[in-house]
Structure 1
Amino acid sequence: MDDTLPDHTSITVPVPVAEITSEERFKAIPVAEITHFVVQLSAKRMNSIMQSVVGIPYDHNKPWPYWFFIGKIVSKTFLNNEEQLEWLKFVHVHDREFIGFINTQINRVSNQEDAKAEEVYLQVVEINFLKP
């Protein structure tokens, strides 16, 4: 990790692609139409992922670089573009962190004033990481 870089780029290791598993009933949802992704991680799981992928422990006092990196993993895995998701918000509940990301491609189209874009419906998926 390079502390001299902005939080969204401070973890400099290559972004891995994770394996996707889902319930059969959700496999028909077009991934490109998902507007929001919510990642649910325990502190222990986050630390495990960071240790195995990045080689550094998770820092609870400065979590932003880790959240951005998790967003890049999800973005690259689902959308084949590690920069397509943008961090939105996080909530800490008990020992879990819920980190929200928006799909910038969908939201960019729906927010253009000049374009007559079709109505965009909210499509949210929850992501859980298995043990690395």
Structure 2
Amino acid sequence: MIENTKRLGAGYEVSVQQPLSIRVPTRAEKMALNLTNVESDPQSSGTPHLELVNGQVPYRDAVVSWKLPKVRLLGEERYISFELDCVTHVVLQISDARQQQVFAQIGVQHDYDYPFPFWHFLGKMISQALLENETSLEILSFTRVNDHEFVGFENKNSPKSNNSTDLNVIEVSLKRPQPNEPMEIFWRPARGIIIQRLRECEYREGYTSGL
């Protein structure tokens, strides 16, 4: 009997023996492999310890020990006249790899099985950068496209209106984090398709449907 293990790629391991056996990698192993191949983070390998999220408690309670990093808001000069103080909704677009990088920098192990604590914390970061108040944004809706997540937030302090045309929406993304530097959050006015999806949410119960 020949005992030897070969890696076939994509995380699959084949033991060359009788009988032939194939081990299918777990979802976490696949995700880790994809993140390594697509967008590796040299800083994460040197992180001695990452805090784990407690998925058994309410997501607001799960993040109380996480330290909010310094944040910096970036935008294009052509949008300088845009009234950020009047923003009603924010849509975050973020990849799996970027989430892993951001939370590794913060000192937390990102867990794809419990997304709400991480979305909530990202909302706090965006709220602080945009409105100078970390508690102004609430999770509204979310959807996933390939390896990206789109998370909609509502500014709970903005004036309420029954007119869906009163939405003032921006899109944001997080730049790759750098050691000892503020987290940079880039914003722009939302595209028409994003605004349309948010308007559709108004006709669905409790603002809980997908973005």
What is the TM-score normalised by the length of structure 2?
A: 0.54
Partners in 1 of 2:149 and 2:171 — Cα distance? 12
Correspondence for 1:123: 168
Question: Percentage identity across aligned positions?
Answer: 31
- 1:25 match: 78
Which of 81, 94, 98 aligns to 2:133? It is: 81
- Indicate the SS of the match to 1:110: coil
RCO (CA 8 Å, sep 6+): is it higher in 1 or 2?
A: 1
Distance 1:30 1:59, change over 3 A: same
> 2:111 is paired with a residue of what secondary structure?
coil
Return the offset for 1:5.
4.4
Which runs of no fewer than 5 residues in structure 2 stay unpaired?
1-51, 178-211
Q: Secondary structure at the match of 1:14?
A: coil
| Distance across 2 between alignment mates of 1:93 and 1:120 | 26
In structure 2, the CA distance between the partners of 1:56 and 1:80, relative to structure 1 (3 Å rule), is same
**Segment drifting more, 21-30 vs 11-20:** 11-20
The reply to whether residue 103 of structure 1 matches residue 155 of structure 2 is yes
1:42-93, Cα deviation, whole Å (9 max, x unpaired): 000001001101x122111111100000000000111111110000011100
Question: Which one has the largest radius of gyration?
Answer: 2
- The one-letter amino acid of 2:72's match is E
User: Are 1:48 and 2:98 counterparts?
Assistant: no
CA RMSD of aligned residues (A): 2.1
Amino acid at match of 1:110: K
Relative distance call for 1:45 and 1:2 in structure 2 (3 A) is: closer
